[in-house]
A and B are shown apart, each in its own frame.
Chain A
Amino acid sequence: MADETKPDGKNHMLTEEAVLDRDLAYLEASTPSEQTVIKTVDLWKTYQMGAEQVHALRGVSFEVPRGEYLAIMGPSGSGKSTLMNLIGCLDTPTSGEYWLNGKLVSEMDDDELAYIRNKEIGFVFQTFNLLPRATALHNVELPLIYNGTPRSQRIEMAKIALERVDLGPRMNHKPNELSGGQRQRVAIARALVNNPSILLADEPTGNLDSATSQEIMSLFDDLHSQGNTIILVTHEHDIAEHAHRVLHILDGEINRDERR
């Protein structure tokens, strides 16, 4: 169909129909399969620093199948954080494509990105990033507030998520009444509450002692065995050990894609 309408084009403007056909054909060719959660095609991110252009990412392409346990490793300045921000839909690439759960995220505007972050991504941060004045329960409720879940259902879902990380009894505590490990569990419950496509953890054990780190990592292992897709961003080898695949980033490129 696309071939019938394209070739006669003396007119440089394509008809609306032609554009639609072209896009449909393109979509069919590039849409990742059901089993692929993430697909990136030649991602570039370039920052303008004064007169100088800094390429934080230089053409990164990879795919993540559903249910994978992936670690992204790299020294600071490697572009690892930039890649994480793109995967987390906090930022858009300068060029290239990013498909998340069948949706072309790289072309989205701010509000659409907010919707995707709410629906598809569960963030776990190094510094927990809990609201200090809110209880554990309320912190876990937050993503549900932003997608308009009714209050009673919201509380129910938040309680279930907290129970999944064994924090049911402490749900009415505020972050400053919880230990570091417990705070990170609250953050994980918050990440899980919306049943996202991926759990995206940025140095999740960076602020924890080694015993607590082990506890949090075994929680991630459990979540993976329950079918969750997990992406860890870390620079610690023993943390990356838990993953089944490690992407090594260096100077804005994938240096090594290591599977175990």
Chain B
Amino acid sequence: MNINKFIEAAAIALASIMAHKLRSFLTLLGVIIGVAVVTAVATVIEGANVYIKEKIATLGTGVFSLQKASLTGFGDFQKFFEAFRKNPDLGPEDVRVLREQVSLAEQIGAQDGGSRQIKYGNIALEGVGVQGVTPNLILLSNIEVEQGRYFGDFDDDNRREVCFLGADVVDGLFPSGDPIGKEIKIGSDSFTVVGVAKKLGSVLGQSQDNFVLLPLSTFVKTFAKRTSPTFQIKIRARSGVPIEAVQDQVRLVMRTRHKLNYNQPDDFAISTDEATEQLLGQITGTVGAVAFPVVGISLVIGGIVIMNIMLATVTERTREIGIRKSLGATRTDILVQFLVEAALLSGMGGLIGLLIAVSAMWVVGKYAPVPFAVPMWAPAIAIGISTLVGLFFGIYPANRAAKLDPIAALRAD
């Protein structure tokens, strides 16, 4: 088989497909739908994964969190709520002891908070996340200063009544003016604005900029006088130290503090981005597990339709096959010709499906909260798989064409 014959085969195939455009298109519907769905699903999963990495898993490398309870540590809601009820709260004393005893940690920060109403003049905003944070927490989060300053140790040590605003709060309370130095009210207490954060955007349709930060000790003094605080503690490993070693140290300190026996389970939760990613990965994996068999079925049906139309094509072109054989085409030549045609036909279906999926995803992506990323491998897989489907289901018709007796074929009408 040389390249000349192959080009000839491709040219014949293309001419034949183009001669029956509607028929070719209808033949390809199964493959088009299959490839469109596989590409769309891959895009959604890839988009979700990228999203989780960028937006949800924001701890960063070498950072993990210590909480009273976390969903990722327990895996199901029942256990999570039980742990949340039973486990001891984490407070300022825990932070102090950890800072003292966890030698492998570079930074240990903490935060606590809830949703509250805030006011400036006669403008009020409901449901704003009011968080108390240690001054070093900016190093453990993705918040950046847009204007003014973040907190320093003196703010925290002196329980100063200062605050740092998220971009949405600035837009809501100070539509036209400069917020720095102004006083906002949370409940009956006033706080002076010292800084403003850069806009973070939204995750899963929820704005990440709707927050007010206070120094943690200020927050505890103001809002957690009667209830005990439940801190979320964030810890970064020293560079070069494996995160697991730091986690082990933290676990030991906490178990000692809580006087747990060796056979008792942890009554706190340590979680990393990886754990979060895993949990969300399970969800996207389930989507894939449901979608891909459906795609498989539609590709098989698509393949059978192609086989059917190829059989019809072979019958229709019996005389052509006879002519070619009389002029010296071997069985292999004829076989390749029809295989190329089936593969090309199916590959075109793959291409159309891919284009449909990409443009549909582009439109959806403009309105959906989650960005969609078409994975780099999707086009290759889409066209590769559809071409293989064509090749596989083309074997039988092509073989039938190749085996035709030239005399009988020449006599066909």
Residues of A with Cβ closer than 8 Å to B?
85, 88, 90-91, 110-111, 114-115, 117-119, 123, 125, 129-131, 133, 142-143, 145-151, 154, 190
Contact = CB atoms under 8 A, between A and B. Distances in A.
Given A90-B406, A110-B331, A146 B5 contact: yes
Interface in B175-224: none
Given A91-B407, A148-B2, A119 B328 contact: yes
Given A90-B406, A90-B407, A129 B328 contact: no
Contacts of A115: 328, 330
Nearest to B7: A151
Contacts, number: 66
Interface residues of B, number: 24
A123 B331 contact: no
Contact of A133 (B19, B322, B331): B19
Contacts of A148: 2, 4-5
Most B-side CB within 10 Å, residue of A85, A146, A151, A154: A146
A199 to B, nearest CB: 13
Nearest to B11: A138
In this complex, which of A129, A142, A145 has the most chain B Cβ atoms within 10 angstroms of its Cβ? A145
Contacts of B327: 117-118, 123, 142-143, 146, 190
B395 interface: no
B171 interface: no
A114 B407 contact: no
Given A129-B319, A131-B320, A133-B15, A90 B4 contact: no
Contact of A145 (B4, B15, B323, B326): B4
Closest CB pairs A-B (n = 8): A118-B328, A146-B328, A114-B330, A143-B327, A148-B2, A129-B323, A111-B330, A145-B8
B410 A146 contact: no
A188 B319 CA distance: 18
A117 B328 contact: yes
A111 B327 CA distance: 12
Interface in B330-373: 330-333
B160 interface: no
B159 interface: no
Contact of B329 (A88, A114, A149): A114
Given A115-B330, A119-B328, A148-B4, 19 more contacts: A90-B325, A91-B407, A111-B331, A114-B328, A114-B331, A117-B326, A123-B326, A125-B410, A129-B322, A130-B323, A131-B320, A133-B15, A142-B327, A143-B327, A146-B5, A146-B327, A147-B328, A151-B4, A190-B327
B324 interface: yes
Interface string B1-44: 01011011000000100010000000000000000000000000
13 contacts: A90-B326, A90-B406, A110-B330, A111-B330, A111-B332, A114-B331, A118-B327, A125-B410, A129-B319, A129-B322, A129-B410, A142-B327, A145-B4
Nearest to A134: B15
Interface of B: 2, 4-5, 7-8, 15, 19, 319-320, 322-333, 406-407, 410
Contacts of A111: 330-332
Nearest to B2: A148
The SS class assigned to the B binding surface is helix
A114 B327 CA distance: 8
A129 B326 CA distance: 10
Contacts of B406: 90
Contacts of A145: 4-5, 8
Nearest to B8: A145
A88 B410 CA distance: 13
Contacts of A119: 328
A110 B331 CA distance: 8
A110 B405 CA distance: 10
A133 B329 CA distance: 18
A130 B320 CA distance: 8
Contact of B325 (A114, A133, A150, A154): A114
Contacts of B407: 85, 90-91
A149 B4 contact: yes
Nearest to B18: A133
A190 B324 CA distance: 12
Contacts of A117: 325-328
Contact of A143 (B2, B4, B7, B328): B328
**Most chain A beta carbons < 10 A, residue from B7, B319, B325, B330:** B330
Nearest to B332: A111
Contacts of A125: 410
Contacts of A142: 323-324, 327
A169 to B, nearest CB: 24
A119 B330 CA distance: 13
A115 B329 CA distance: 8
Contact of B323 (A110, A131, A150): A131
A81 B370 CA distance: 73
Nearest to B406: A90
Contacts of A90: 325-326, 406-407, 410
A133 B320 CA distance: 10
Nearest to A88: B326
Contacts of A131: 320, 323
A133 B15 CA distance: 8
B331 A146 contact: no
A203 B70 CA distance: 90
Contacts of A154: 4
Nearest to A114: B330
A91 B326 CA distance: 11
A151 B324 CA distance: 18
A258 B10 CA distance: 49
A85 B409 CA distance: 13
Contacts of A133: 15, 19
A202 to B, nearest CB: 10
Contacts of B7: 151
B193 to A, nearest CB: 77
A154 B8 CA distance: 12
